[in-house]
Amino acid sequence: MTTPIKQHISELRQAVRSRHTHSLEWRQSQLQAFQSMLEAHQDDFIKAVETDLGRSSFISELSELNILKVALKEAIASLPSYVAPTKVSVPISVFPSSGSIVPEPLGLVLILSPWNYPLVLALHPMIGAISAGNAVILKPSEVSSASSKVLARAIGNFLDQDAIRVVEGGVAETTELLTHKFDHIFFTGSTTVGRIVYQAAAKNLTPVTLELGGKSPVIIDSTANLRVTARRLLFGLSLNCSQICVAPDYCIVVKEVASDFYHTITEVYAEMFPAPLKSSSDYSRIINTVHTSRLVSFIEESDKEELAKRGEILIGGEFDVEDKFIEPTIFRNTNLDAKIMQDEIFGPLLPVVEVDNLDEAINIVNDRPKPLALYLFSEDQSVVDRVIQQTSSGAVSVNDVLMHFAVESLPFGGVGESGMGCYKGKASFDTFSHKKPILHQSGRSLCDPYFRYPPFDEKKQWIMKKFF
């Protein structure tokens, strides 16, 4: 029998009120149980992701489970220093007091995770929430249903059910969850749904972390190593069928090297994928036929005017809707007004926009909503500095794509329409903590200066102005 959501929340609130989750011992024990859970259910997790996304065990282990194991190791090692009070200096006006900042748990947090990386994007925020001493409700995406079931079973088997629960279901369950008061909501998903979550949270004045997405651009300047650029772009385009919130969404290449770039990436594609991709175990599938059909509509464009704007197919173009297969596909010389340039693609399609110079590339980026990631390929440090200084994005990776997410010490998050707040490493702990300021003053009479209190004669006023 399924436990009602209201009952889950009521029981977890009891854990919050009892401060059951606050002790360092509880947090450490849960993180260690988390490690045991990943080991015990590794095969189950991998099989579930293969069912949902057709992803190979090697890729799932590399891009999800290994990242979680590194995050857990870091959290366990760093937790004593994370929870320790931080001393701060205080002015003479409050002598002889002391000041400190104490991180305290927020309370009960809700984590809403997506389907594209159903393990790491559900469990990584949970590591931060547990480290910070919170009670947690995880709501996995119903779209990746096999992964959702395994997550519910594994968490139920290994983690403290008095403080950590999984709620499965679809839109109805998510909608009901959002009617309740939480102390923080952590959402990963589309900008459209992010707005709905934000509006619901606002009704209860609940703070949120929104990990969204958008169109992450790639800029290729004339000094880029085109072979390295091509390899790394194709890696980003093919990994998980580019169903990644920080996947390269469109490419801006300086016309001076556009022809060489097209030639090089065509050669590299043949080297990286010598056999038919459809039969390759290294290549995933689109999540369902609905999303596949949406992506195919860009490939099968029938409107002549729109076809001219999209540009011709340089690489790829093969697909099978029933098999949820789309070959990595690159379009050359795409117009900025093309339909494919309007919204996040979230699939293995890459339009290439040609520009005259770096100024034009920077203007294209700045004319659009701030992206979750910006990728720059250049060997010119002055170009690197200009792009970093003159654009705004959640993150910048120079001469690579995607890999910044694998660096636990780098905060991950968006800006503007690509999201708010961040996590990973210490940033995760901070996201799920309140930094409580503490001023500890002496209660002795000798430390209670008379000039603080009225009536304020000239002498008291002089002293107060001097020291306050």
Return the pLDDT at 157. 96
Return the pLDDT at 344. 96
User: Rounded CA gap, 177 and 67, in Å?
Assistant: 28
Contact present, 216 and 239 (Cβ < 8 Å): no
Contact present, 240 and 117 (Cβ < 8 Å): yes
Contact present, 351 and 313 (Cβ < 8 Å): no
Return the pLDDT at 129. 98
User: Rounded CA gap, 217 and 375, in Å?
Assistant: 6
pLDDT in tens, 223-265: 999 999 999 999 999 999 999 999 999 999 999 999 999 999 9
Return the pLDDT at 94. 83
- Pairing type for strands 349-355 and 329-331 reads parallel
Which residues of the chain carry a pLDDT beneath 50? none
Return the pLDDT at 443. 82
- Total Cβ atoms within 10 A of residue 163: 22
Contact present, 282 and 59 (Cβ < 8 Å): yes
User: Rounded CA gap, 64 and 120, in Å?
Assistant: 5
**Tokens encoding 99:** 């000041």
**Angle ∠(181,185,188) on CA atoms, nearest 5:** 145
User: Rounded CA gap, 150 and 7, in Å?
Assistant: 22
- Pairing type for strands 325-326 and 319-320 reads antiparallel
**Annotation says 245 is catalytic:** yes
| DSSP 3-state of 372 | coil
Closest CA to 77 of 396, 425, 399, 332: 425
Closest CA to 8 of 110, 104, 105: 110
**Annotation says 447 is catalytic:** no
Return the pLDDT at 465. 84
Return the pLDDT at 1. 59
Q: Which residue among the candidates 50, 64, 211, 327 is catalytic per the annotation?
A: 211
Phi, psi dihedral angles at 423 (to 5 degrees): -155, -175
DSSP 373-396: -EEEE-S-HHHHHHHHHH---S-E
| DSSP 3-state of 15 | helix
Q: Which residue among the candidates 245, 251, 301, 327 is catalytic per the annotation?
A: 245
pLDDT in tens, 404-439: 999 999 999 999 999 999 999 999 999 999 999 999
| DSSP 3-state of 319 | strand
| DSSP 3-state of 99 | strand
